[in-house]
Each structure stands twice: as C-alpha cells, then as structure tokens.
Amino acid sequence: MKILMLSWEFPPYKVGGIASHVSDLSNALAKMGHSVHILTYGEKYATEPTANDTIIVHRIPGTWAPNTLAWSNFLCHKMEKEAIRLHKEVHFDVLHAHDWMMVPAGVGLKKTLRLPFIFTLHSTEQGRSGKPSNPYTRLINDLEWYGTYEADEIITVGKDFCDEVKGLFNPPENKIHYVPNGVDLKRFEDVKFFLDRSNFASDWEKIILFVGRLSHQKGLEYLVWAAPKILKANPGAKFVVSGAGDTNRYSSLAHQLGVGHKFYFTGYTPDHLMPSLYSLADAFAVPSVYEPFGIVALEASAARKPVVGSYVGGLKDTIVHEYTGLHTFPGHVDSIASQVDRVLSDSSWAEWMGRNGHSWVETNFTWERISRWTTGIYGKALGLWE
C-alpha cells in the first residue's frame, strides 16, 4: 500500500506528541511492507531522521504569518501542490492527515486526487480551550468538524476522547475508531545517550519528573501547588520539569510558594535524550486536566517508572491504578500530594509498579499492534471490507 501522510510537525521539529506519533506509526507501517510518503513542515535535510527505502519525508518550508491559522493555511496550500506532483509519480492508495491544521490540505487532496481520506484527531479545541468564544477558536473548531465530516474514516487516540468527538461533531458511528498511541520499547531498553544525574539533583534527592508542554492543559500548576505538601512528607524530593512554554510563570509560582529551590526546569529536551531523562526519575507525574491520550505516561511506564496521573481522558487507560501507578483527581492538589507521597515512601512498591507498567505497555501499546489496526482502517476506507 502507498500511503501519503500529512503532519504539520515531524522530528526533529516537535511541539507535542503528533511528531512522535507520525514517526513511529510510519516506521511500523514500513516494517509491514507499506510505502509511506510524509509531507510536513521544515527545511530539507540531507539525511532525514526516519527516511529509508520505504519512508520518504518531503519538507515544505514555512513562512512568517500573524497566527497559527494563517501559517497552517499557507502550509496546506504548498502541501497540496507538492502532493499533486508526487501523486503523478507514486500513485498513492490512501491519504492520512493529522490534526486540524492539515484539514484544508486533506480535504482538498481527497477531492482533487480522489483518494480515501483518513483523519486522526489528537485533541479538540473545545477540550484544549473550552467552548469556542471568539472567531479564532470557532474557526479551529469548525475545521475539526469539517475534517470529521469529509473524512472517510476517523481515528481518535483515546476511548473517552472518541466519545468526546462523537458528542461534539456527531459523525456516523461506523466511521469513527479508537486506535491508541504506542511506544517503541527498544528506545527505553537500549539507552545510548546518558545524562548526568548530578546536573538535576543531589544523590540524596528523589526525582519527580514532569514532561510536557508548559500549559494549563497539562496541569503543571497543580503539581507546583502540591509541592510544599509533598516536600513536608518527603524533604528529599526534587521536581524536574521538561518541556517548552512559559517557564517563568511556573518558576515564579514555585518561588512564591517557597519551593523554587526544589524545581529544575530543563526546557525542551531532544527526543534522543528522553529515555535517559526518564531513567533518572523515581516517580513520574502527569497532572493533566485534559488529556486525550497522554503518551508520556506510556513512555514513563516503558522506562519502568511508576506514574502518578489524573483520572482523566486517556490516562484512565494508560495507568492501571495501584498496578502500574496511581490515579489522582484532576486539578486536586491534596490528591496529587497524597499519591506522590505513597510512591516515594515505598520504593519496593514503586519499583514493582514500574515493572508492571513495562509489561502493560508491551502487551497493549506496541506500534506493531497499532499499525495492524490502522491498516485495517485503511482497508475499510478502500472498500476491501465493511
């Protein structure tokens, strides 16, 4: 099968989880014998991160734009032109677009090239920002609806999230599917780049790791508010925060609460260093208030770390309470503090949950398994079965 994949982010350009999702899915599809062409943003590289005989990455340079909508529309226009040129040579079988930014290109190419159109939603504007309250957020919401309307098949990355999409956009029941994210376990079993733990914490300190965008959706402020309570019971705790965003906001909050010296903000950590960063942690925190899936929770489990995360969205499925980690009430400071304390106070139990987490990922969330589900949806879009 010849697959055309559209994604506005792809390694090494990475903002959220879509880049890793598209990269790992494409690699898994290639191992099955499929040919994958990826159209994405960026300058051309002499050697692409995942390029080989069956994966070819095509970069579209961006341009300055006043906002994300204008930027993505420009990118989509350029992608459509390049895809039409490529199709004359490759003759694609299916088109697979990711996220609302790719909807204009996805719909346009569906109609122009007459290809089956698969659309993966990774989150929604209403979930991220609340009910659209201005023209900008309403237009993003409308693009998400348009993508679900025009798509031949819709993929959602979480069970709860699947229900959210059904409730928001009311697509036909027979064309919406739940297919989770996955993890490449080899990345966490063969760590090649090591970080020096002493750069993050003293030998006597226990590291609580947070990985994600520094935004309200990820709930970092609740972990910061919980820090004084956690430190009262565990003076040796140290909070390591990895992610891009408004570092000053969260650093200032930590200092206001008198715990600024116990926080270390790394900024953005490149993909090749992430397995090493996970290996330093004693506990992993995911205090999200909205999380369609939460791939970082799976990555922590793959690294054999106990995960403390909100009982919300995809985290309901990726964390098995008191087996691979502990659930907290979303946005509940006392709940977060209590559950982190439980993990830090019993290292043997924490290690047991970490081992269980690795097995849980190996059984349920490998890309080999997920790529088979995805190709089944491609086959349905092609009319090979109902």
Residues 281 and 157 grouped into a single domain: no
Q: Classify residue 386: in a domain, yes or no.
A: no
Residues 206 and 162 grouped into a single domain: no
Residues 194 and 140 grouped into a single domain: no
Return the pLDDT at 48: 66
- State the residue range of the domain holding 118: 2-182+366-381
Q: What is the CATH number of the domain that holds 350?
A: 3.40.50.2000
CA 139 – CA 121 distance, rounded (Å): 16
Identify which of 363, 361, 369, 295 has the alpha carbon closest to the alpha carbon of residue 32: 369
Q: Classify residue 7: in a domain, yes or no.
A: yes
Residues 80 and 94 grouped into a single domain: yes
Residues 209 and 315 grouped into a single domain: yes
Residues 99 and 156 grouped into a single domain: yes
Q: What is the DSSP string of 4-73?
A: EEEES-BTTB-SSSHHHHHHHHHHHHHHTT-EEEEEEES---SS-SS-SSSEEEEEE-----SSHHHHHH
Residues 176 and 192 grouped into a single domain: no
Residues 206 and 229 grouped into a single domain: yes
Residues 149 and 258 grouped into a single domain: no
CA 32 – CA 26 distance, rounded (Å): 10
Return the pLDDT at 54: 84
Return the pLDDT at 262: 98
Please state the domain count of the chain: 2
Q: Classify residue 120: in a domain, yes or no.
A: yes
Q: Classify residue 99: in a domain, yes or no.
A: yes
Residues 316 and 337 grouped into a single domain: yes
Q: Classify residue 139: in a domain, yes or no.
A: yes
Q: 205: which DSSP letter?
A: P
Residues 17 and 164 grouped into a single domain: yes
- Return per-residue pLDDT of the chain as tens, 386 residues: 999 999 999 988 888 789 989 999 999 999 999 999 999 998 876 556 665 678 999 999 888 889 999 999 999 999 999 999 999 999 999 999 999 999 999 999 999 999 999 999 999 999 988 888 899 999 999 999 999 999 999 999 999 999 999 999 999 999 999 999 999 999 898 787 789 999 999 999 999 999 999 999 999 999 999 999 999 999 999 999 999 999 999 999 999 999 999 999 999 898 889 999 999 999 999 999 999 998 999 999 999 999 999 999 999 999 999 999 999 999 999 999 999 999 999 999 999 999 999 999 999 999 999 999 999 999 999 998 87
Residues 119 and 223 grouped into a single domain: no
Return the pLDDT at 206: 97
